[in-house]
Amino acid sequence: MNKGFFITFEGGEGSGKTTQSELLYNNLKEKGFVVNRTREPGGTILAEKIRDLLLKGDQDKMSNLTELYLFAAARKDHIDNIIEPSLENNEIVICDRFIDSTTAYQGYAGNIDLRVINYVNNITIGSSKPDITYIFDIDPNIGLQRSINITTEEIRFEKKDIDYHKKIRSGFLEIANNNPDRCIVINAEQELKKIEEFILNLTIEKYEGNGN
Ligand code: T5A
């Protein structure tokens, strides 16, 4: 029997991942699937505390490597306590951000050697590799404008300059190119409903194709 089904949503700031991951969660539940929706950094008590350290801190007060280890520590706790148990239980897990965010933000934009990033990602996730990853692609000027309209203290990364966000965008596209087996690039500038329907149909098709 197959072990659960793991879906991740990735992309730059304000690309619409959170909105669409919630829509997919509701649509799948409505169709009778057992679904668990979670996010990174976060998902457990410990990982949510690390999230606060990472996202509410002062810009540039933390080194890139410190950042990488904190994201990895939060992820390990999240995998052990939420993601793996859910997958073992044959559930569909939807996660808002996962390892590709580390590769794009700390690797492509943060300039940590990608070999280090891949090594840390691999030892952190073990066998918990996503079955599908939706990568939301958007012009960072549009994405940042969308996220500015949301009131939150979690702005450490949003505050970085536009070149940083452009590197994130091209990093995500390169990740998609290198992992065509699991990554699907979504044009995030399309109308919300169109994206919602595309993701729902493709998810069900892939889920059934996975032998579920
Ligand atoms: N991070 C995270 C790392 O650096 N390394 C890591 O390993 C990990 C895991 C996490 C931060 O941490 C960094 C990356 C991030 O900076 P987050 O909680 O994921 O942060 O927050 P953001 O990505 O900043 O989330 P945002 O809320 O800004 O963006 P979303 O989730 O992509 O966008 P969403 O859905 O909230 O939508 C933003 C706005 O746009 C509208 C929505 O209604 C909302 O108002 N919208 C649309 N408008 C028009 N057309 C559409 N199609 C729309 N879709 C959504």
CATH number of the structural domain spanning residue 67: 3.40.50.300
What does the alpha-carbon distance between residue 57 and residue 12 come to, in Å, rounded to a whole number? 19
pLDDT one-digit tens code per residue, 10-36: 999 999 999 999 999 999 999 999 999
Burial code (b: 16+ CB inside 10 Å, e: under 16) for 35-58 equals bbbbbbbbbbeebeebbeebbeee
The two structure tokens encoding residue 35: 């679904």
Q: Is the CB of 77 under 6 A from ligand 1?
A: no
pLDDT at 1 over 60: no
Q: Is the CB of 128 under 6 A from ligand 1?
A: no
> How remote is the CA of residue 211 from the centroid of ligand 1, in Å?
32
The domain in which residue 133 lies consists of 5-209
Q: Is the CB of 38 under 6 A from ligand 1?
A: no
pLDDT for 161:
86
pLDDT for 156:
65
Q: Is the CB of 172 under 6 A from ligand 1?
A: no
Q: Is the CB of 40 under 6 A from ligand 1?
A: yes
What does the alpha-carbon distance between residue 106 and residue 142 come to, in Å, rounded to a whole number? 22
pLDDT one-digit tens code per residue, 170-188: 999 999 999 999 999 999 9
Q: Is the CB of 146 under 6 A from ligand 1?
A: yes
> How remote is the CA of residue 14 from the centroid of ligand 1, in Å?
4
Query: Number of structural domains, the chain?
Result: 1
Q: For the full predicted model, state whether its pTM sits above 0.85.
A: yes
What does the alpha-carbon distance between residue 168 and residue 103 come to, in Å, rounded to a whole number? 9
